[in-house]
């Protein structure tokens, strides 16, 4: 054979083998990745070839599916009271990746979860009937908190302390998820929503940690009582007024110069929200003890799933003494979500035991049979029952005689803690208004935390009692008296 022909044949053979190897690699190794690629149009066609399963609140679906026209995507997602429940459902879009519960349970809701397949589905290689997600949300509590927040920018979370069930998850301003579902209109809606400076797509209840201000004083008080620094909420503390921050020429003062904060007891210090008491107390305890208590309540947890992944609330480390003092009043680099501060009140209200918060009670198959139930969440002993009882009592004093009077409800034992957190360099921007609370009546209990980032109120009128406490009151009233 001619030498040139022989070489050409060998080269051609090698090319053929290379093509065969590449084809084999693509088919057997890269095939699944290509099939699952979000830009693969076939996936969207398959997902929206039939109605999706539903997200359910109090026995009623708050989602649905509607037939489309003129599209290869036969159905699109629809929402009932979309703005009210957006922080719970998120959205399932023909153009964008699903979020919130729609994202967490996407496979269940579109019928591709392996647990949904029957023997007949396997034999005929057809997609299973989709399942449903049954939530713990109480529609009355959700609506009460949403209406009370109104046009304010903020969030609210309500928890059943005994079960950990999330009764309300509200974020405002909200948006209508239906605007993002259809491919032909989603792009314009997405641009409008992402350009909005108020960030309506942000789930402020679960995913926007902010300085918690004086609501964090409950954590410091719990650490002081549990460590034995003080044995009673009525024991006088060692608290100068004003308090010189260690290692600096700066003094920490109280909001009101007339408040009886010098050597005040924990009860009085919570009642008047004394910065000097809790700043000094944090230094006395040391940052390690404060952090240990904060972490028991849920701070610094990077895997807090409800089942939507919540952003971690943070108690900082590596602080000097003056920064530790500021952390004791919920400033410096301390951050918390409304979920986290609701967990603090829930643990205190539940005699010191924190039940893991969750907003899904069960997931079901297409026939309504439970695939998984979440009625046995984990629990953590945060503080002793005695400490919890003392803090409950002190929180009631805050509402009955202190800075949280706007949370009072006739016939309900209400305890709470206000907070006004500095915002911006040298507090140049509107402060954040906080309120965390619990209510008990008729054998029932609820814990509620609210943050208001922005409102139409004058700066001088921004306070936890003025802006956030009425929202908590509305939610508690709906949960306990509704």
Q: Name the domain count of the chain.
A: 1
- 75: nearest Cα among 53, 107, 54, 50: 50
Residue 117: band (very low, low, confident or very high) from pLDDT cuts 50, 70, 90: confident
Question: pLDDT of 97-116, one tens digit each?
Answer: 999 999 999 999 999 999 98
Overall average pLDDT of the 216-241 stretch = 97
Distance CA 448, CA 437 (A): 5
Considering only CA atoms, give the Rg of the chain.
27
Domain annotation covers residue 50: no
pLDDT at 15: 81
pLDDT at 125: 67
DSSP string, 369-395: -EEEE--S--EEE-S-HHHHHHHHHHH
The burial of 285, by beta-carbon neighbours within 10 Å (0-12 exposed, 13-18 middle, 19 or more buried), is given as buried
Overall average pLDDT of the 330-334 stretch = 95
Strand ranges in 277-382 using DSSP code E only, listed in sequence order: 353-355, 360-364, 370-373, 379-381
Question: pLDDT of 276-312, one tens digit each?
Answer: 999 999 999 999 999 999 999 999 999 999 999 999 9
Overall average pLDDT of the 80-94 stretch = 97
Domain annotation covers residue 229: yes
pLDDT at 13: 82
pLDDT at 30: 58
Overall average pLDDT of the 376-380 stretch = 93
Q: Which residue has the higher pLDDT, 425 or 326?
A: 326
Residue 243: band (very low, low, confident or very high) from pLDDT cuts 50, 70, 90: very high
Domain annotation covers residue 112: no
Overall average pLDDT of the 374-398 stretch = 96
Question: pLDDT of 13-24, one tens digit each?
Answer: 888 887 877 777
Contact 280, 406 (CB under 8 A): no
Asked if pLDDT for residue 467 goes beyond 60, the answer is: yes
How many residues can be counted in the chain? 482
Asked if pLDDT for residue 367 goes beyond 60, the answer is: yes
Of 124-138, 362-376, 454-468, least confident by mean pLDDT is 454-468
Overall average pLDDT of the 109-128 stretch = 81
Asked if pLDDT for residue 31 goes beyond 60, the answer is: no
Q: Mean of the per-residue pLDDT values for the chain?
A: 91
Domain annotation covers residue 403: yes
Q: What is the CATH number of the domain that holds 465?
A: 3.40.710.10
Distance CA 406, CA 400 (A): 9
- Could you give the residue ranges of the DSSP H alpha helices within 254-360? 266-271, 275-285, 287-297, 321-327, 338-349
Q: Which residue has the higher pLDDT, 456 or 205?
A: 205
Q: Is 358 helix (H, G, I), strand (E, B) or coil?
A: strand
Domain residues for 264?
Answer: 207-361+376-481
Which residue reads 């990746």 in tokens?
Answer: 97
Residue 12: band (very low, low, confident or very high) from pLDDT cuts 50, 70, 90: confident
Asked if pLDDT for residue 329 goes beyond 60, the answer is: yes
Overall average pLDDT of the 169-192 stretch = 95
pLDDT at 34: 47
63-77, 246-260, 402-416 — most confident range: 402-416
Residue 71: band (very low, low, confident or very high) from pLDDT cuts 50, 70, 90: confident
pLDDT at 40: 58
Q: Which residue has the higher pLDDT, 81 or 256?
A: 81
Domain annotation covers residue 33: no
Domain annotation covers residue 268: yes
Distance CA 341, CA 168 (A): 14
Asked if pLDDT for residue 460 goes beyond 70, the answer is: no
Domain annotation covers residue 72: no
Percent of the chain with pLDDT over 70: 92
Strand ranges in 250-359 using DSSP code E only, listed in sequence order: 251-252, 353-355
Distance CA 433, CA 464 (A): 4
Domain annotation covers residue 171: no
Overall average pLDDT of the 112-136 stretch = 85
Distance CA 470, CA 149 (A): 9
Active-site amino acid positions? 214
């Amino acid at each position: 054979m001619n030498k040139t022909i022989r070489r050409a044949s060998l080269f051609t053979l090698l090319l053929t083998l290379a093509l065969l190897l590449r084809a084999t690699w693509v088919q057997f190794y890269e095939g699944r990745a290509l099939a699952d690629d979000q830009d693969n149009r076939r996936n969207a066609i398959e997902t929206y070839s039939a109605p999706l399963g539903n997200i359910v609140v109090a026995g009623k679906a708050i989602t649905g599916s509607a037939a489309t026209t003129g599209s290869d995507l036969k159905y699109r997602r629809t929402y009932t009271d979309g703005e009210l429940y957006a922080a719970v459902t998120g959205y399932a879009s023909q153009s964008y990746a699903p979020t919130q519960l729609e994202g967490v349970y996407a496979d269940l809701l579109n019928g591709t979860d392996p647990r949904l397949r029957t023997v007949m589905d396997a034999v005929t290689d057809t997609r299973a009937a989709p399942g449903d997600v049954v939530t713990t949300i109480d529609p009355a509590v959700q609506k009460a908190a949403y209406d009370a927040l109104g046009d304010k920018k903020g969030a609210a979370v309500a928890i059943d302390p005994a079960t950990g069930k999330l009764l309300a998850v509200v974020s405002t301003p909200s948006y209508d998820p239906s605007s993002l579902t259809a491919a032909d209109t989603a792009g314009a809606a997405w641009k409008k929503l992402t350009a909005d400076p108020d960030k309506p797509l942000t789930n402020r209840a679960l995913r926007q940690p902010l300085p918690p201000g004086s609501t964090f004083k409950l954590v410091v008080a719990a650490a002081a009582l549990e460590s034995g620094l003080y044995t009673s909420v009525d024991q006088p503390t060692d608290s100068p007024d004003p308090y010189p921050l260690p290692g600096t020429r700066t003094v920490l003062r109280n909001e009101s110069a007339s408040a009886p904060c010098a050597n005040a007891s924990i009860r009085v210090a919570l009642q008047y929200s004394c910065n000097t008491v809790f700043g000094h107390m944090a230094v006395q305890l040391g940052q390690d003890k404060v952090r240990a208590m904060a972490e028991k309540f849920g701070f610094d947890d990077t895997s807090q799933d409800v089942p939507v992944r919540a952003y971690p609330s943070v108690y900082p480390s590596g602080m000097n003494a003056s920064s530790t003092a500021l952390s004791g009043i919920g400033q410096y680099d301390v951050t918390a979500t409304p979920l986290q501060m609701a967990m603090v009140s829930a643990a205190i209200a539940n005699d010191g035991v924190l039940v893991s918060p969750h907003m899904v009670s069960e997931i079901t198959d297409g026939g309504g049979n439970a695939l998984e139930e979440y009625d046995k969440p984990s629990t953590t002993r945060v503080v002793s029952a005695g400490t919890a009882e003392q803090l409950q009592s002190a929180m009631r004093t805050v509402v009955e005689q202190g800075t949280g009077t706007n949370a009072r409800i006739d016939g309900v034992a209400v305890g709470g803690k206000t907070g006004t957190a500095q915002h911006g360099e040298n507090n140049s921007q509107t402060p954040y208004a906080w309120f965390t609370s619990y209510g008990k009546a008729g054998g029932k209990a609820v814990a509620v935390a609210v943050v208001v980032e922005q409102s139409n109120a004058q700066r001088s009128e921004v306070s936890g009692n003025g802006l956030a406490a009425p929202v908590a009151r509305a939610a508690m009233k709906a949960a306990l008296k509704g």
